[in-house]
Structure 1
Amino acid sequence: MRPDGRERSLVAALFVSGFATFSQLFDAQAILPSLASDLGISSATASLAVSATTSGIALSVLPWAWLSDRIGRTAVMRISLIATTVLALAAPLAPTLEALIAMRALTGVALGGIQAVAMALLVEVLPRHRVPAAAAVYITGNTIGGVTGRVIAGPVSELLHWRVGLLVVAGIGLIACLLFFVLLPRGIEQRDGRVVSMREALGNVGHHLSRWTTVSIYVQGFLVMGAFTAVYNYLGFHLIDDPFRVPAALASLFFLVYFAGAASARVAGALAARIPPWAVVLGGGVAVALAALPMQATSIGVLLAGITLLTVGTFMAHPMSSTLSGLAADRGRAQSTALYQLSWLAGAALWGWFGGVLYDELGWSGVVGLSTALAIGAAGIAASRAWATRTGLSGEGRTA
């Protein structure tokens, strides 16, 4: 059975919400060199503009998930996007670095509503066999949003000012917010009227954290997205330094490789209908680990190939892990998907910042070494889960 018009409209709305989230989450990555130069701070300190936002989301996803159990998933998404738009427009006006970081953190808290419930909504509303493909569309929205935020903010910050770069992306986020309200179908969410208490929600969190079936998914996101963010946070610094000396405005164009990630997310969703999802996650983890060698090259073309491989691998593993966090939950699905979001965002914040410490001390090789170590750990977990699923030891079927 083909998706009906309301289902297509829902998926389109979630695509737009993912676009809005990631354009305003990672636009700061592209302005880090300009921010560091303008304020006379280290790369690790500048990266706090990114880590503050991811940390804000990580801290807020569980409260947002609990609220969505009480007032509904779509209500939370509406509140989240309105708050995000207001805060994103205000953040570039912050007078000091400390104020900017605080505003970026609050923007992350607002963004957490989308990240906490989008996947849970898909799993609850759509037929189970259509969830992976729909999730891939949502992740594609994330990807294209990430590209847009970076590619616009970077050149604008170099040509005008980093504040202007952030403000322009916030304006695009406002348009995306309006589109979301237009596209989201009314009455799509079927609620049973039951209100989940805080005690029950916390019980669901404890339950998910006691099962390797779900914990392994969360750890996967923590490692893979940590590896990915560490590389992308300091790619701009690497490109404008020796031996490449790429102008900062042009360095932002490297983020266009995200479109390869968008394509790989769609392919991963299609593959999951034919092979066990953990095999798809394993393939992504291996690709991220293999990207280490070309990323060390002094040829810009070979470096681009390595960044592309890293991006393709990440967007094979990440969307599938996100989908599994909902499908593998035997209760408290909103809490499970929120825990996955918390995990990957915590990984992005922690390893994204620590990559700067390594970059300042060891240069680009330190960042690549960190990324590779994290990817190897993720691939090991995926391999064990793929084997357990294949042999039936996990008690899971093809889609969990």
Structure 2
Amino acid sequence: MIEANTRAFRLATLALCLGSAMIFANLHVVQSLLPTLALQFHLTELQASWSLTITILTLGLSLLVYGPLSDAIGRKPIMVVTMAGAVLVTLALSQVESYASLLLLRGLQGFFLGGLPAIAIAYMGDEFSRKAVVLAVGVYISANSLGGVTGRLLGGFVGEHFGWAAAFGAVGVLSALVLVAFVWLLPKSQHFQPKPLHPLHIAQDMGGHLRNPVLLAAFLMAGGNFMIFLNQYSYITFVLAAAPYHLSPHALGLLFLTYLSGTLAAAFSGRVTQCFSAPVGMALGILCLMGGSLLTLIPSLSAIVWGFMVSSFGFFLTHSLASSWVSHHALKARASASSLYLVFYYMGASVGGFLLAPFWAWQGWLGIILGSLLVYSLTLACSLWLYAKNNTFDKRVSVSPS
């Protein structure tokens, strides 16, 4: 097994982090461009957000395929092939001229982008020691946030100066370089044991994960938190593009630097469990999400930025702990369990725009925050239930469900 702080650990973690950053740069490149797309194609706020929603939706659905498939045929080959497909589609997106074509290709792009997120943590679970997994997952998820920041910054900067289509071209070229590095750096699986691909067994595995209440609570937290966190960023771009802020696409891209507080939270999530149990850490993260949301109600750009920084810290802390929680509880079909976690995660995000739309129509940004607090209250209840259910959970995220 790969132990923490060894050369193999550093190379494998670097490869997975680069791959993760590439995936999320491609996923989120449009988010700082939503007002631009709305103006270019004469769209409503909700219609413009479809360019992100459809990619998240197909990414989430693809996880149902890649997780079980990788349990049968291996981890690295699927990650490489799907990353290559994502690169090609991203480059094709730089050539489209209609919004319908953009949505079609963004849907296809999402299907390819699901390969690495579905498998990466399962790869760690196969190849890394338990201690190494805890450390690597936090760093890996911090790379998610860095990738999201990179994509949004590139989208905003290139989109403002060269047009939205050029933003896809820039991300596509960068992604191709990352793919080459990924193939070279990531070691081949040494401890993977294939499992025959039987649909009945897959359904049984999924059913077993869903019947495990400790896993199910983590799944629900993942979906609820990401549902709100991601879509708050989408709606705030329309707030900040309008009076009295009038921010440009480049300036909107800079807002996503607030993700860097989440990078810090994810990187140190493993250390949090040395002081608190994982459910307590998750609850603290959700309280940060609630507090950060309330801060954004202050009509000041600096307050909004601080609010999103607090929310980002809380979101990635909770996400890192919940991801590790699922990895440690799935004693078989680990990739299927990780995939199911991410299905909830991305399905939540894909419906969040629609769920928050009535709140937006009702009270604008105030309505968004009221809807957000409602959902966060439910995810906080899940974390508190986990604490009550598993009060013997040890401080290193090694638990036996009661």
TM-score w.r.t. the length of structure 2 is 0.94
Paired position in structure 2 for 1:254: 255
Give the alignment of 1:1-400 within 5 angstroms.
Answer: 2-185=4-187, 187-391=188-392, 398-400=397-399
Contact 2:4 2:129 in 1 (8 A): no
Q: Please give the alpha-carbon distance, in whole angstroms, between the structure 1 residues aligned to 2:122 and 2:158.
A: 36
- Determine the C-alpha separation between the residues in 1 that align with 2:37 and 2:160: 10
Write out per-residue CA displacement over residues 312-367 of structure 1, whole angstroms, 9 at most, x where no aligned residue: 10011111111212111132211110001111100111003433453344311122
Higher alpha-carbon deviation: 295-304 or 353-362: 353-362
Q: How many residues of Structure 1 are paired with residues of Structure 2 in the alignment?
A: 397
Post-superposition CA distance 1:67-117 (Å, at most 9, x none): 101210111111111111111111232232122111111111001111111
How far 1:143 sits from its partner (Å)?
0.8
Letter in 1 for 2:76: T
2:223 is paired with a residue of what secondary structure?
A: helix
Alpha carbons of structure 1 residues 357 and 127: separation in structure 2 relative to 1, 3 Å: same
Change (3 A) 1:158 1:358: farther
Once residues 190 and 255 of structure 2 are traced to their aligned partners in structure 1, the CA distance between those partners, rounded to angstroms, is 39
| Residue 2 (structure 1) shift | 4.5
> In 2, Cα distance between the equivalents of 1:92 and 1:74?
28
**Cα root mean square deviation, aligned:** 1.8
Deviation (angstroms), 1:193: 4.5
| Cα distance, 1:272–1:391 mapped onto 2, change above 3 Å | closer
Change in Cα spacing, 1:360 to 1:100, as seen in structure 2 (3 Å) is farther
Q: In the aligned structure 1, how far is the partner of 2:5 from the partner of 2:395?
A: 26
SS at match of 2:390: helix
C-alpha separation in 2, matches of 1:77 and 1:391: 37
Relative to structure 1, is the Cα distance of residues 50 and 81 closer, same or farther in structure 2, using a 3 angstrom cutoff? same
Distance of 2:56 and 2:130 partners within structure 1:
29
Distance 1:322 1:193, change over 3 A: closer
Contact 1:10–1:183 (CA under 8 A) maintained in structure 2: yes
- Distance, in Å, in 2 between the alignment partners of 1:235 and 1:36 is 14
**Partners in 1 of 2:202 and 2:191 — Cα distance?**
19
Deviation at 1:136, TM superposition (A): 0.9
Unmatched runs of 5 consecutive residues or more in structure 1: none
Change (3 A) 1:397 1:386: farther
Partner Cα distance (1:192, 1:333) in 2: 11
How much has 1:199 moved relative to structure 2? 1.7
Please tell me whether the aligned partners of residues 149 and 169 of structure 1 are also in contact (alpha carbons under 8 angstroms): yes
Tell me how far apart the structure 2 counterparts of residues 106 and 298 of structure 1 sit (CA, whole Å): 39
2:360/2:367 contact within 8 Å kept = yes
CA deviations on 1:163-216 (whole Å, 9 max, x unpaired) are 11122122211121111112112x333233442422211110011111211111
CA contact (8 A) 1:222 1:344 kept: yes
SS of the residue 1:278 aligns to: helix
* 2-structure distance, mates of 1:160, 1:398: 47
CA distance in 2, matches of 1:192, 1:119: 15
Cα displacement (A) at 1:161: 1.1
Deviation (angstroms), 1:142: 0.8
Contact map agreement 2:275 2:395 (CA 8 A) in 1: no
Contact 2:209 2:330 survives alignment (8 Å): yes
Deviation larger for 223-232 or 268-277? 268-277
- Aligned mates of 1:205, 1:233 — CA distance in 2: 32
Check whether the contact 2:222–2:344 (CA below 8 A) recurs between aligned residues. yes
Amino acid paired to 2:67 = A
Q: 1: distance between equivalents of 2:115 and 2:249? A: 33
**CA separation of 1:391/1:325 partners in 2, compared to 1, >3 Å: closer, same or farther?**
closer
2:278–2:395 CA contact under 8 A, matched in 1: no
- Mark the CA change 1:365 to 1:97 in structure 2 (over 3 Å): closer, same or farther: same
Q: How far did 1:5 drift?
A: 1.4
Residues 61 and 338 of structure 1 are in contact (CA less than 8 Å); yes or no, is this contact kept in structure 2? Answer: yes
Q: What is the one-letter code of the residue matched to 1:125?
A: E
* Runs (5+) with no aligned partner, structure 2: none
CA contact (8 A) 2:258 2:312 kept: yes
Instruction: Report the Cα offset of residue 397 of structure 1.
Output: 8.3
TM-score w.r.t. the length of structure 1 is: 0.95
Contact map agreement 2:141 2:263 (CA 8 A) in 1: yes
| Partner Cα distance (1:147, 1:308) in 2 | 13
Percent identity between matched residues is 24
Partner-residue secondary structure (3-state), 2:30: helix
Q: Is the 8 A contact 1:44 1:360 kept in 2?
A: no
Out of 372-381 and 23-32, give the one that drifted further. Answer: 372-381
